[in-house]
Amino acid sequence: MGAEFLKSAFEKAWERAEKISIPDEKIKELELLSEGEKLAAAFLKDENFDLLGELSKFDASSQRIIIKGAENTFLKNIVLPQTLGMQKGCERALEGIKLLKRDKVSIENLVEEIKNLFLYYQEAVKQAHAKLRKEFEIQITRALQEQLGTPVKVKATDIEQNPEFREKWHQVLRNINAEYEKILDQHKKEITNIM
């Protein structure tokens, strides 16, 4: 009885699914958005990829939708650069965005603001890390000197491996990231408003 019930429930669900129809225009739009995502991905991977050349193969109405898909992919790749590789990926995504926009002055100004934000972010991370490491060095050195009764020098690697330091660092980094991600998200919204 249970198998029959499942089978009939499945058959009923399948019948309902078959009745759902998606307009051809919506299917075409989804295909073009996907094409834009693929073009953006190719641009991000290959420095010699001719994004504008590939876009020119499509008619104007299709290009608008493809550009929207490419822009979405580029925006997803614009993140706070925590490594050199991430920074290069972000810069490449920003190059792609600049190619897609007609208002070159506005997009160039915004891209410069984003690049400056990345520099400020990296400097904030560097300074916060150095400050926290110094605080822990003083704290650990003081505790060891009290315990041993003699002057002690603590290695930077010992501080970095300290569980309390690592926990505190992750907390500090989360706070910095939240602050800068908020600003970056605002810039991303501005990108979408530029023609």
Domain extents in the chain: 21-76, 80-195
pLDDT tens digit sequence for 69-127: 999 999 999 999 998 889 999 999 999 999 999 999 999 999 999 999 999 999 999 99
pLDDT of 159:
86
- Is it the case that residue 15 has pLDDT exceeding 80? no
CA distance readout (Å), 34 to 17, 63, 92, 175, 192: 23, 12, 20, 35, 18
97 contacts 106 by C-beta, under 8 angstroms: no
Q: How confident is the model at residue 3 (pLDDT cuts 50, 70, 90)?
A: low
Contacts of 132 (CB under 8 A, 6+ apart): 165, 168, 169, 172
Q: How confident is the model at residue 54 (pLDDT cuts 50, 70, 90)?
A: very high
99 contacts 52 by C-beta, under 8 angstroms: yes
pLDDT of 158:
77
pLDDT of 21:
75
Cβ count within 10 A of residue 109: 13
pTM of the model: 0.82
